Structure 1
């Protein structure tokens, strides 16, 4: 049964944002996702901008009470806790270097958290936040916005059903050409911080782009774990060093499969280079973001099949996230809506101590965020060691 906007939880959650204001590249995506089903979240407050007046003006313009448009997140948390109708969950849509302190403050204020990726700079910070969230009984979700595309769940189901046999090769790519020169580095505040190690952390495109694709591959193949990897990264725009604007990653998986990933923001002329191909012993599956409602299914010796979104021959897990019906194009906004709806279901289940729902819900939670941090750390360590093969360090809790 497709989604039709009927409520999945008893009432909408009172929701706020930190960041995501007028100049944000991601704020509208968060609001589109959260408010797509008005039965899941209601935006009631925000600290939308580092410029308090601009943030207040923006908040009022999108319908938030001016008295609940705060100058900063600390003020918002302190004031909202005093209200009977105070916020219950907050989304963090700010530069990477602020995620840890805001997330920690939100959890300590008794709030559930939805945070941009990559979560934090270090795995140790992630472990601390995970432990705090567990003590507080709160959910931490990560906005891997592409991962709500339901055809990824179709890939997951077909692999589990043995449709392509044993996995042998994993090919991942997320590239574009919008940073092929340094113009944006100089004029765009949203780009400036992404190439500043103090704010962005130890990577640029590995963290900004490939963590999406890496998580999506783990969503599709939850039992596939990397044994070792080799990362070679470059700063073709020299001023971005030591952060990379291009990187290649080779991977060996524990089951003997091999993989490669290319991530880049200097793929000049490329408008959408986001793709995933999984090659098995019987056949292959391939998904491209620019045709997100289609899935290529190729069986050796048989004609290529193109599976189309919303059709009854797809797996129930795929069609459960369907919104518009066949022939009507869905895209990134619906993908965000799917993960935000699952965040709402997870938060509601956590509030009710419904561990069965949480166990069976497929969504990017704290463990996915920690795995993304570990992915970046392993890639950076390999690159900084002369692009050497490195044993992939898994946290035991994530294996």
Structure 2
């Protein structure tokens, strides 16, 4: 009723954020698009790639934007890493080591909040718990930094240490083989007891490595083989233009998650504005996490579940998968 009545108004809303439990994303997003309203949706986007493809086609027909809230990729030093990779400063990428863990679900669910209960119920969460809830952040950010690389095969080993959560996992490891010969390792967990919540990204090349954590978002460790290690600070003029372009606070002030999310919402808003104006040239080179990014995250989750449920075996990643719109525009 809310959507139908807003769609009738000359001054109705132009975009709605969908921050509801996973199982309702598809229905709400579809209803909004059919009513001519742009969408910003939480991740994981939907339960299946088929649903993502359907919504993507609907958005295309309606001329609307679907943004996805991969909120950590608005940090300036994430873009610094991507620029360094793109400009060959690390050499050929050999390894990607990714971690997003916390300990807030280390105990049982006897006194779990309603917000927690739906996340561990397959009917409301979908086929995964921590892989979808926080693992997709790792995967999307790695895609943004490594847009020229594709996963060819992966192996997922997932556990339900709190047995009542089965078949959904509260801990998982994912190994990956990339098409350029590189390898990847990902650890995601909500039962890392005592850990207050941390992300760590390390990208290793033939010449140098970079490492960034969200607990120190204003610093990037840059290590060149045979040289002293160095720490790069956000907002400094020695950084690449791509990093400085998204810096909000300047070098003397620490940027946080709120600033990163502000960048994400700005980029989606710019995409919506361009779509309204019919500026397809702008959209062709504009970076934002859109429907393709959300679809690729669901595709990754499907491969992880397929591997884990088959006994933690290597599975082929979908060879027909196309790169996300956001990573394609980074190449441009």
Query: Aligned partners of 1:262, 1:320: CA distance in 2, in Å?
Result: 31
- Please name the residue that 2:58 is paired with: 132
Paired residue for 1:282, among 189, 207, 214? 207
- Please name the residue that 2:224 is paired with: 299
The answer to whether structure 1 residue 323 and structure 2 residue 255 are counterparts is no
Paired residue for 2:33, among 84, 87, 107? 107
TM-score by length of 1: 0.80
| Structure 1 residue matching 2:8: 3-state secondary structure | coil
State the number of aligned residues: 324
- Please name the residue that 2:327 is paired with: none
| Structure 2 residue matching 1:223: 3-state secondary structure | coil
Q: Contact 1:272 / 1:289 at 8 angstroms: preserved in 2? A: no
Paired residue for 1:252, among 177, 184, 201? 177
Paired residue for 1:337, among 262, 281, 288? 262
* Cα distance, 1:187 vs structure 2: 3.1
Query: Aligned partners of 2:272, 2:160: CA distance in 1, in Å?
Result: 40
Query: Aligned partners of 1:77, 1:380: CA distance in 2, in Å?
Result: 34
Query: Aligned partners of 1:268, 1:375: CA distance in 2, in Å?
Result: 26
1:377/1:275 Cα in 2 relative to 1: closer, same or farther (>3 Å)?
same
- Please name the residue that 1:147 is paired with: 73
* Cα distance, 1:159 vs structure 2: 0.5
TM-score by length of 2: 0.96
> Where does structure 1 lack aligned partners over 5 or more consecutive residues?
1-74
Query: Aligned partners of 2:175, 2:67: CA distance in 1, in Å?
Result: 28
Q: Contact 1:186 / 1:192 at 8 angstroms: preserved in 2? A: no
Higher CA-based Rg: 1
> Any runs of at least 4 consecutive aligned residues in structure 1 with deviations exceeding 2 A, and if so which?
394-399
* Cα distance, 1:134 vs structure 2: 0.2
* Cα distance, 1:397 vs structure 2: 3.7
Q: Could you tell which deviates more after superposition, 197-206 or 78-87?
A: 78-87
Q: Deviations over 1:247-267 (max 9, x none)?
A: 000000000000100000000
- The equivalences for 1:1-399 within 5 A come to 75-183=1-109, 186-398=111-323
Q: Could you tell which deviates more after superposition, 355-364 or 99-108?
A: 355-364
Query: Aligned partners of 1:313, 1:355: CA distance in 2, in Å?
Result: 33
* Cα distance, 1:398 vs structure 2: 3.2
Query: Aligned partners of 1:191, 1:272: CA distance in 2, in Å?
Result: 16
- Please name the residue that 1:33 is paired with: none
* Cα distance, 1:394 vs structure 2: 4.3
* Cα distance, 1:317 vs structure 2: 1.3
Root mean square deviation, CA, Å: 1.0
Query: Aligned partners of 2:113, 2:129: CA distance in 1, in Å?
Result: 15
